[in-house]
Structure 1
Amino acid sequence: MADHHDRADAARGEAERAQQGRLDYSSIGFITFDCLGWPVTAIPEGGGTHFIQDLTLAVSGAAGTAVIAAAKMGLSARAVGGVGDDMMGDWVLQRLGQFGVDTAAMQRRPGWRTSSSIVTTRPDGQRPALHMKGATGQFFVDDDLMPSVIDARVVHLGGVGLMDAMDRGRNAELARLAQAGGAVTTADVFAGSPDDLPAVASILPHTDYFMPSIEEAHALTGRSDLEGTAEFFLDRGVRCCVFTLGAEGAYYHHRDGTRFRVPAFQIDVRCTCGCGDAFDAGFAVALVRGMDPETAVRFAQATSALNALGLGSQAGVESFDHTWDFMLRTPHRERRAA
């Protein structure tokens, strides 16, 4: 059976033989407008005011963060999702364009509202948020749009479980067609309990790299161990699980038996918003560049760590060279005893 190296090499070869316009990365799903404040220690009572040090705007969400971070690191990238006919939608499309992201497959309809969040970032980097779901639940990739959406070396589904219209079987069909066309498929989720498993399970047989946070993976499976949680998804068709573990790093578990952990980098966290999504982007860059699995996970971890150094999703990510240099020079955290 071909291993993950063969799969990635085959996908890259297919991409090189494909039409000239094929992009590196297509990121489909949850794209949101964020307003973030830091540091927030409490919500004022009544009509009171607390003063903070920093305030920013960001395109965020599992697909939005990933596509901008990937573009910053040199991938030709496409964003696929929905925005509203509102000021937030104007800004999201403008911001994506500023990073060279292809927005031809972004959908906008009268009456839709852009998925948006108010993020109150705490001094320790945690980020309680108020979120309006908006157009993420409404956009749909129809048959006419499908060929252009899946025409990429890496096709990413970001935010499975939040895409109401797409989660009813269309995400699974998209991933199946992307694989059949030679793309490497990756997926991240928004999940809080086993009730979210049906939407996720439908894409698993067509997913090469499944990359949820460990909290989401545990919530979906009801398990608490790394290996058993990974095997749960492998048994349902995934080729490889790559779990983000927060301050404990990341865990890689492939169907071919390869498994390892990579520790987190030693940094002073400012904001954790979008860290897992930035990880997904770093992993996509590694796939396109043909990195071996352990280097790929380390590079994805470096992308996530840089994200955590800025305020707002992908703010700390600058370029491929900057991320690579950070990976080489930054020490890792000591692993806690199990």
Structure 2
Amino acid sequence: MISVFGSANMDLVAYVSQAPKLGETVTGRAFHTVPGGKGANQAVAAARAGAEVTFLGAVGDDGFGIALRSTLVDAGIEVSALRQVPGASGIAHIVVDDSGGNSIIVVPGANGTVTGLTGDDHALISASSALLLQLELPIEGVTAAARAAREAGVQVVLTPAPSRPLPAELLEAVTLLVPNEHEAADLTGASDAESALEELLKLVPEVVITLGSQGALYGSRSGERLRVPAVKVEAVDTTAAGDTFVGALAVARSEGLGPEEALRFASAAASISVQREGASTSMPGRDEIDAQLAAH
């Protein structure tokens, strides 16, 4: 079982030809309300890729909270540890331009209340093969979850987004760190991915740096270094690419695939998601991922 301790947001997505500059108003071509949040996205990605998944986090007692819970349940995800708290659920305001690029503003809402673990959270994490973490929950909650996983011998996969300094106590519990190239640069100050990789491996045992259309770079303290190319497709919406990649990567690793095979599996999944609009709605099923791998 893969557990995900993370955020659930309702994504408010506006599609435009070109994102507005400061003080500018532009006309959009479409608007969608789509369940998302980095935690929920990774959970859906992992479930659709074939894993048994449980989700730990919080939603509000509003309509968005009902919809977010339903989305996770419909994906086959266990939600017994998804708390409901008074007030608003988290939202993300997303602008997507015609190149598929995006800019995002996150308002935490209920996610901001998850500052620690319940007894049920501890039990679910301890029973997992891997714990997926991101940084859209309060850092004290993320650190507590990572520490619980480490104490139970569970692999900890951290996506350091939104980018911020990482406390030593959190890094000490991380098995695999998966930043994109910008987050890797923020964490290390390095100007290129290869240098950032070497710096990050001083902090954690394994690192994958995602490079968008340039693929992904992997390294481990054992000395292994890999660069896996991305599957070449025409991107429509890259909003969920990173979360799809991480969810699928966790599944591949849990199934015993080696680093190169796992990265190719994750890249195939991400390549499908970017060809579709939305976050959780864009994520592929296992049959689709297998077909994409076979085709490339």
Q: What TM-score comes out, normalization by structure 1 length?
A: 0.80
Residue 301 (structure 1) aligned with residue 277 (structure 2):
no
Find the partner of 2:156 among 185, 188, 194: 185
**Alpha-carbon offset, residue 40 of structure 1:** 4.2
Deviations along 1:260-284, one digit per CA (max 9) or x if unpaired, are: 1111111010001021111100101
Quote the residue 1:58 is aligned against: 34
Percentage of pairs with the same residue: 26
**Contact between 2:6 and 2:57, CA under 8 Å: does it hold in 1?**
yes
> 1:115 is aligned with what amino acid?
G
1:156–1:328 distance in 2 versus 1, CA, 3 Å: same
1:250-329 alignment, distance < 5 Å: 250-329=216-295
1:144–1:51 distance in 2 versus 1, CA, 3 Å: closer
Deviations along 1:297-317, one digit per CA (max 9) or x if unpaired, are: 111111111111111114333
Find the partner of 2:132 among 151, 156, 165: 156
Quote the residue 1:13 is aligned against: none
Quote the residue 1:204 is aligned against: 171
Q: Distance in 2 between matches of 1:114 and 1:150?
A: 27
> 2:13 is aligned with what amino acid?
L
**Contact between 2:217 and 2:226, CA under 8 Å: does it hold in 1?**
yes
Q: Distance in 2 between matches of 1:100 and 1:40?
A: 35
- Runs of 4 or more above 4 Å deviation: none
> 1:35 is aligned with what amino acid?
L
Q: Which runs of 5+ in 2 are unaligned?
A: none
Q: Distance in 2 between matches of 1:180 and 1:134?
A: 30
Residue 73 (structure 1) aligned with residue 49 (structure 2):
yes
**Alpha-carbon offset, residue 191 of structure 1:** 4.1
**Alpha-carbon offset, residue 143 of structure 1:** 4.4
**Contact between 1:204 and 1:233, CA under 8 Å: does it hold in 2?**
no
Q: Distance in 2 between matches of 1:139 and 1:105?
A: 12
**What SS is found at the alignment partner of 2:130?**
strand
Q: Distance in 1 between matches of 2:20 and 2:148?
A: 47
Quote the residue 1:122 is aligned against: 97
1:41–1:106 distance in 2 versus 1, CA, 3 Å: same
More divergent stretch after superposition (251-260 vs 314-323): 314-323
Q: Which runs of 5+ in 1 are unaligned?
A: 1-23, 331-338
**Corresponding pairs, count:** 295
**What SS is found at the alignment partner of 2:134?**
strand
More divergent stretch after superposition (226-235 vs 28-37): 226-235
Q: What TM-score comes out, normalization by structure 2 length?
A: 0.91
1:207–1:49 distance in 2 versus 1, CA, 3 Å: closer
**What SS is found at the alignment partner of 2:182?**
helix
**What SS is found at the alignment partner of 1:81?**
strand
Find the partner of 2:73 among 97, 100, 114: 97
**Alpha-carbon offset, residue 132 of structure 1:** 1.7
